[in-house]
């Protein structure tokens, strides 16, 4: 049974303002909820139509009907459960290892895909500019498919962050060096830019190493790669030489 007040609170969490205020976010669907339950994330409350989450204490489980699920879900086709979790504290980002930094990436699907890529390539820290889409946006949470539990996402002023780091800073530009012929280090920061405008001028000034993914074919008319597919290619290039380790 879900009360009117609970519905209001849960659907309110679709907005960043309420998520920040309550320090809570929500996730949906068996797979994603299960991954979050198996992680260090703290469960606040679980609403489910199915008795399948055996490890969750009764005090935190609320059995609901399909009709109630529809009322609290953000999906067109809700999938068995909605769970509210406590937002974890952002962890300190070390000045070592390979780190991805995003300059105003706005699309929830792109952020979710990039978090999955970080997880795949063993990158534990993702630094986002303040204008990036919120990682606890329900669409981002869904798109991460649970990878969110293994990647620390931090929001900060990107210009200031890059000013302080001792790591080499890489960024993709049309006139950058061919990424296939560059010798890429094991440690560094890879900056990915906004979907429409790329990397901003202030951040560009902090990029010491401009790289580019070469285009092939005769026509050369493709304007750009999507930021998530570009990230896939770049992360793969940074990791490939260390894949035997």
Task: Give me the residues that bind its own copies (CB under 8 A), please.
Answer: 109, 113, 116-117, 119-124, 145-147, 150, 178, 180-181, 213-219, 221-223, 225-226, 228-233, 236-237, 239-244
Q: Minimum distance between the CB of residue 115 and its own copies, rounded to whole angstroms?
A: 10
Nearer to its own copies, 57 or 217 (CB): 217
* Helix axes of 227-240 and 108-120: crossing angle, nearest 10 degrees: 10
Minimum CB–partner distance for residue 214 and its own copies (Å):
5
In the complex, minimum distance from the CB of residue 38 to its own copies, in angstroms, rounded to a whole number = 9
The nearest distance, CB 226 to its own copies, in angstroms, is 6
Nearer to its own copies, 9 or 137 (CB): 137
Output the six-digit token pair for 234: 């770049």
Burial 113-141 (b: 16+ CB within 10 A, else e): bbbbbbbebebebbbbbeebbbbbbbbbb
Smaller CB distance to its own copies: residue 75 or 233? 233
> In this complex, which beta carbon is closest to its own copies, that of residue 175 or of residue 218?
218
Residue 155: CB atoms within 10 Å: 16
Which two structure tokens, joined as six digits, stand for 205?
């000034």
Rg (CA), the chain: 20
Give the bridge partners for 26, in sequence order: 84
């Amino acid at each position: 049974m879900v009360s009117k007040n609970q519905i209001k609170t849960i659907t309110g969490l679709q907005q960043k303002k309420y998520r920040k205020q309550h320090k809570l976010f929500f996730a949906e669907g068996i797979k994603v909820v299960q991954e979050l339950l198996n992680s260090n994330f703290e469960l606040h409350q679980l609403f489910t139509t199915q008795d399948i989450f055996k490890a969750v204490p009764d005090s935190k489980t609320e059995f609901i009907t399909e009709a109630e699920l529809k009322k609290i879900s953000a999906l067109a086709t809700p999938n068995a459960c909605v769970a509210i979790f406590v937002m974890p504290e952002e962890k300190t980002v070390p000045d070592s290892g390979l780190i991805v930094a995003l300059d105003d990436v706005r699309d929830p699907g792109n952020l979710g895909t990039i978090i999955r890529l970080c997880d795949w390539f063993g990158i534990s820290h993702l630094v986002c500019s303040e204008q990036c889409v919120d990682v606890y946006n329900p669409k981002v949470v869904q798109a991460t498919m649970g990878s969110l539990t293994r990647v620390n996402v931090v929001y900060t002023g990107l210009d200031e962050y890059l000013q302080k780091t001792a790591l080499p800073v890489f960024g993709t530009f049309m006139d950058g060096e061919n990424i296939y012929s560059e010798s890429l280090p094991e440690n560094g920061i890879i900056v990915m830019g906004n979907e429409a405008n790329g990397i901003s001028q202030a951040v560009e000034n902090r990029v010491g190493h401009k790289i580019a993914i070469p285009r092939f074919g005769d026509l050369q008319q493709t304007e750009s790669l999507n930021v998530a597919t570009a990230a896939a290619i770049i992360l793969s290039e940074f990791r490939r030489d260390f894949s035997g380790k």
